[in-house]
């Protein structure tokens, strides 16, 4: 362990400064939470302690909080401790620019300048282009991966991340060995161990086993909600994206996490792609297409995608999205009738409203 004491003061200072930046990134929209406030109370001491832990290779993630959310769909969330969120941003700030250069343009999830609005606009653009502005036939194939985050193979994921970073080892301006150590700790951490469960056991009723880490196969699954999981999700599917675009030659293709769309003028051609896509996912990524979420229709039928319904010459909010928006308002009204909302409840409601109002902005012209 003495080799880690050879870090120069300059290197230690850089790591500490980068941890401060990671902290400022992590506290956005989280500053009023109990964990964030507790961390901030002894901010410098906490960040210096984390710096020493990672330099001395003594970092261990703390227990996560596990709970169920019902909107927009029922999901199992493992919320990392705030100090681990700082580490996630620390990792992300280093490696995201490297992987960003490798992603296709039409991978929309959790990327600057992209997101749901961009994805909706691109799919609308693809339909217009393929159909020659709705004057010719074209067809839409939408597919979904079964239990994506729970099915990701950790060893396969870590190998993908490590190989890409090692290929850039002469270009990076950070301690690659240290960052790989933290990535390995994060990927192979089992958030189920000693997790704090909030809510009732009944909350898990109706949640498919493929949506829960408690039912994931050994060495598989990442917690939904962590920043690193979002980035790793894009990295894991990057090989598939390039294969679809380059090897299959699909011009009109876009993906948001595990929800992807292919558009072509020939319906039979798209139908023939389904087994090829399924075979590649299974053999190369150990993933399975969801058999009940295969949508293949003429463009005049439209397509539901990312909370919107895309039809010729119009895009509108999906009914489920509108219903969830109204329910979120009613839930907050009920809280206000019952008691004065806490800072956490106010912050959660504000984040929820910002999300829904962002979807409803008229950005699709």
User: What confidence tens digit (pLDDT) does each residue in 163-208 have?
Assistant: 999 999 999 989 999 999 999 999 999 999 999 999 888 899 999 9
pTM of the model: 0.88
Report residue 73's pLDDT band, with 50, 70 and 90 as the boundaries. confident
Tell which residue, 69, 152, 110, has the closest CA to residue 306. 110
Structure confidence by residue, pLDDT tens digits, 291-314? 999 999 999 999 999 989 999 998
Instruction: Quote the pLDDT of residue 24.
Output: 95
Structure confidence by residue, pLDDT tens digits, 122-173? 999 999 999 999 999 999 999 999 999 999 999 999 999 999 999 999 999 8
Q: What percent of the chain has pLDDT over 70?
A: 95
Give the integer Cα–Cα distance in Å for 220 and 288: 14
Give the integer Cα–Cα distance in Å for 227 and 225: 6
Instruction: Quote the pLDDT of residue 107.
Output: 98
Instruction: Quote the pLDDT of residue 148.
Output: 97
Instruction: Quote the pLDDT of residue 28.
Output: 86
Instruction: Quote the pLDDT of residue 223.
Output: 95
Alpha helices in the chain, H assignment, sequence order: 9-26, 34-41, 43-55, 82-100, 116-130, 148-151, 154-166, 176-188, 227-242, 267-285, 319-338, 343-360
Instruction: Quote the pLDDT of residue 343.
Output: 74
Tell which residue, 216, 209, 89, has the closest CA to residue 150. 216
Structure confidence by residue, pLDDT tens digits, 310-332? 999 988 887 777 788 888 888 88
Instruction: Quote the pLDDT of residue 193.
Output: 93
- Residue 131's CB: how many other CB atoms inside 10 A? 20
Report residue 29's pLDDT band, with 50, 70 and 90 as the boundaries. low
Burial label, 42 (beta-carbon count in 10 A; 0-12, 13-18, 19+): exposed
Reply yes or no: is the peptide bond before residue 116 cis, omega within 30 of 0: no
Structure confidence by residue, pLDDT tens digits, 213-227? 999 999 999 999 899
Q: Which tops the pLDDT comparison, 239 or 362?
A: 239
Instruction: Quote the pLDDT of residue 147.
Output: 95
Give the integer Cα–Cα distance in Å for 218 and 33: 33
Mean of all residue pLDDT scores within the chain: 91
Report residue 364's pLDDT band, with 50, 70 and 90 as the boundaries. very low
Report residue 362's pLDDT band, with 50, 70 and 90 as the boundaries. low
Instruction: Quote the pLDDT of residue 280.
Output: 98
CB of 116 within 8 A of CB of 256?
yes
Give the integer Cα–Cα distance in Å for 228 and 92: 7
Instruction: Quote the pLDDT of residue 81.
Output: 94
């Amino acid at each position: 362990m003495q080799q880690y004491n050879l870090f120069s003061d300059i290197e230690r200072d850089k790591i500490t400064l980068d941890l401060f930046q990671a902290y400022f990134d992590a506290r956005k929209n989280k500053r009023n939470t109990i964990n964030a406030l507790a961390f901030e109370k002894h901010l410098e001491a906490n960040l210096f302690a984390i710096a020493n832990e990672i330099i001395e290779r003594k970092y261990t993630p703390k227990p996560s909080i596990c709970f169920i959310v019902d909107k927009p769909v029922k999901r199992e969330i493992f919320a990392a401790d705030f100090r681990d969120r700082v580490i996630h941003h620390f990792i992300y700030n280093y490696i995201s620019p490297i992987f960003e250069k490798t992603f296709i343009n039409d991978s929309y999830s959790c990327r600057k300048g992209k997101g749901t609005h961009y994805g909706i606009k691109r799919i609308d653009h693809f339909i217009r282009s393929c159909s020659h502005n709705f004057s010719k036939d074209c067809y839409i194939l939408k597919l979904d991966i079964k239990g994506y985050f729970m099915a990701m193979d950790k060893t396969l994921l870590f190998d993908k991340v490590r190989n890409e970073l090692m290929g850039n080892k002469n270009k990076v301006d950070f301690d690659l060995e240290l960052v790989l150590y933290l990535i390995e700790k994060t990927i192979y951490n089992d958030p189920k161990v000693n997790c704090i469960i909030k809510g009732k056991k009944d909350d898990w009723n109706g949640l498919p086993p493929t949506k829960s880490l408690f039912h994931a196969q050994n060495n598989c699954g990442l917690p939904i909600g962590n920043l690193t999981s979002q980035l790793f999700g894009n990295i894991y599917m990057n090989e598939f994206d390039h294969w679809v675009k380059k090897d299959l030659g699909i011009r009109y293709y876009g993906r948001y996490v595990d929800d992807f769309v292919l558009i072509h003028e020939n319906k039979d051609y798209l139908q023939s792609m389904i087994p090829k896509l399924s075979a590649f996912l299974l053999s190369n990524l150990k993933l399975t297409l969801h058999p009940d979420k295969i949508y293949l229709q003429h463009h005049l039928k439209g397509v539901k995608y990312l909370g919107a319904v895309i039809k010729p010459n119009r895009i509108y909010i999906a009914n489920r999205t509108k219903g969830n928006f109204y329910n979120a308002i009613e839930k907050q009204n009920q809280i206000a009738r019952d008691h004065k909302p806490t800072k956490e409840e106010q912050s959660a409601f504000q984040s929820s409203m910002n999300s829904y109002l962002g979807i409803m902005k008229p950005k699709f012209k």
